[in-house]
Chain A
Amino acid sequence: MASAFVAAFEILSFGAIIVLVVLGLGIIASMMGIFNFAQGEFVLLGAYVTYLAYSHGVPIWVGMVAAPFVVGALGFVLEALIIRRFYAAPIVAMLGTYALGLIIREAVRGLIGGFYLTVPEPIGGSIDIGTMHISAWRFTIIVITLLVMAGCYLLLSRTNFGLRMRATLENPSLARASGISTPLMYGATFAFGSALAGLAGALIVPVFSLYADLGIRFLIQGFVAVMVGGVGSFIGPVAGAGVIGTLSAALPWVMAPVVADVLVFVLAIVFIKFRPQGLIAGKGV
């Protein structure tokens, strides 16, 4: 019983991490039609900002709060300078954002070297429930993920800003005619997606430690999750992330980790092949 509970917690917390990473990716992919290959590097940057704060003696949580803003601001600038040119051609966008990601990744590698740098958990220790111990920080990640998910949903579906964002992405010319500044909205959407990646990076760095290839690992998992969930809605990628995250965390409990690792990808690709629209089809929030 106890071990089953611990396993369930592990699976849940890993699922939450994947959801967190995929949120930003999904918003950019669904709303803007761009598969952002630099998203993994935005995660890396978020982690790096947190590490930077820690290594300069600033409390870690300050770094974690700062990370989404720093990465979001960078995303806004990059959108205005570079990403904006790619809207017409999704494949070129993939290559362009890949180049961006390469620059960011190698810059970070140059800064930290080939090391694995650890950042302690801001909330250490464990939560004891009876005889079971679960990591307090992982529990915090789950809670924050839930809050962020709810926040994103409310932002997109209930606020004026979300409405304008959706209007811009659904029908740009009509939105422009209605007096919405579409370039600003595109920039804001991209910045928002980047900020989510930055937040994800900041939160997971105590768990995974900081290294230059941190982003790649999540990038591919994230893409697969977005495709499984279905591009075009907010809820689709989240559902896909839940499925992929749960599977990648759960399968190693029942089979050799190597096989499980590969099996998740194979299953996902087969699933997408036969259901290209994903788990949740259709537009909407």
Chain B
Amino acid sequence: MPKSISVVKQALDANDGGEADIAMAERGPANRAEGKSKGQATGHARAGRKILPIVEGLVLLAALVAPLVLQDYLTVFATRVIILALFALSFDLVWGYAGIMSFGQALFFGSAGYGVALLARDVNVTNIFLVLPAGTLIGLAFALLLGGFLLLGRHPSSVIFVSLGTLTGSYAADRLARGWYYLGGQNGIPSIAPMSLGSYEFSEGPAYYYLVLGILVVVYLLCRFLVRSQFGLALAGLRENEQRIAFFGYKTQHLKAIIFTIGGAIAGLSGSLYAFHEGFVWPNMVGVVVSTQVVLYVLFGGSGTLIGAVIGAVIVEGVSFWLSDNYRDIWPIILGVLLLLVILFRPLGLISFVLGERERVGSFGAKIKEKPNAAP
């Protein structure tokens, strides 16, 4: 795979022409690890490329101090936002990086939530080291099943089919959850026991907040590593021009199924955190409403950048919380109008106000030994 990096890069850059190609190869090594690149960040070519780490650092800093300055009920709200940001991350991987429109991401989020709720209710298992992996596995398994079915096969599936298939899956799950008595029907499963570690119980508050923040940071770093790896490069190629990547010999369907499954696992993790945080699960959690909510976050913040998904979730939820007192009724309308404006005029999301196209796409893989301009 490493050998083919430059080839795929050509595919990525074909639209921008050769210059971008060279530029990309040039900045390839530098941007890979922020710590290392600091020392070698010389020359004007790299000068404008360091906004992303700053944004990431600022967001992390804000997240770290948030519980110290916020009132208690706001910390609870902030915890919810962090969990939703984790969820947004899962959708961003699938849509922003691999170009798979998953309109049913809530299926994995909600089914994991239901799964851990059942574990807590029927088997009395609430140990954090059991329920979180269980939730992740549930999300992973559902994503593997649905993604495998929708994406694999002799004929590559059309984008429309995949998006409608995931949407339908989510809708069907919603209907099933509403009608199934065992899952609590319309009311869902109330009063789930809190997540525990030995005798310690995670209840709403700063402890839970830092727990989910820690998980978010770990998952974020893993995703960051993933999308900057050669696998991530292939994914980006997939998003930009699937056919060309297929012609290079990549099994595009497999790549898609893998990232879809990873996305499902992350959604499952966030879903189980959400279920324990809220203390109940209800059918909307698997349904179309939440599925489209996550699409909103990512489009708002900026798909194709991991931090964009996080920022989108924070902004959408934050503004909605802030406005909900006075403008509860018209907030969804405002949200719709803003979303429409973003789609029409800022397709790359809010992050594109501070982030250039080059930095958004980023660079990939290990340092390339060959001369940068030997590519064409």
Spell out A's residues near B (CB within 8 Å).
35, 82, 85, 90-92, 94-96, 98-100, 102-103, 106-107, 109-110, 216, 220, 223-224, 227, 256-258, 261-262, 265-266, 268-269, 272-273, 276
Contacts and interface: CB of A to CB of B under 8 A. Distances in A.
Contact of B339 (A85, A102, A272): A102
Nearest to A217: B171
Contact of A273 (B149, B295, B340, B347): B149
Contacts, number: 101
Contacts of A276: 155, 157-158, 161
B343 A224 contact: no
B164 to A, nearest CB: 5
Given A82-B340, A262-B176, A266-B172, A223 B161 contact: no
A273 B155 CA distance: 9
A159 B164 CA distance: 33
Contacts of A102: 292, 332, 335-336, 339
B375 interface: no
A227 B344 CA distance: 27
B229 interface: no
A258 B176 contact: yes
Contacts of B150: 269, 273
Contacts of B179: 256-258, 261
A265 B172 contact: yes
A124 to B, nearest CB: 31
Interface of B: 101, 149-150, 153, 155, 157-161, 163-165, 167-169, 171-172, 175-176, 178-180, 288, 292, 295, 299, 329-330, 332-333, 335-337, 339-340, 343-344, 347
Contact of B333 (A85, A91, A107, A262): A107
A181 B69 CA distance: 61
A273 B157 contact: yes
Contacts of A94: 101, 160, 163
Contacts of A216: 288
Contacts of B340: 82, 96, 99-100, 103
The DSSP consensus for interface residues of chain A is helix
Contacts of A268: 168
Nearest to B154: A274
A248 B179 CA distance: 15
18 contacts: A35-B164, A82-B340, A85-B344, A90-B160, A92-B347, A94-B160, A94-B163, A98-B292, A99-B340, A106-B330, A106-B333, A110-B330, A227-B160, A258-B180, A265-B169, A266-B172, A272-B161, A276-B158
B153 A265 contact: no
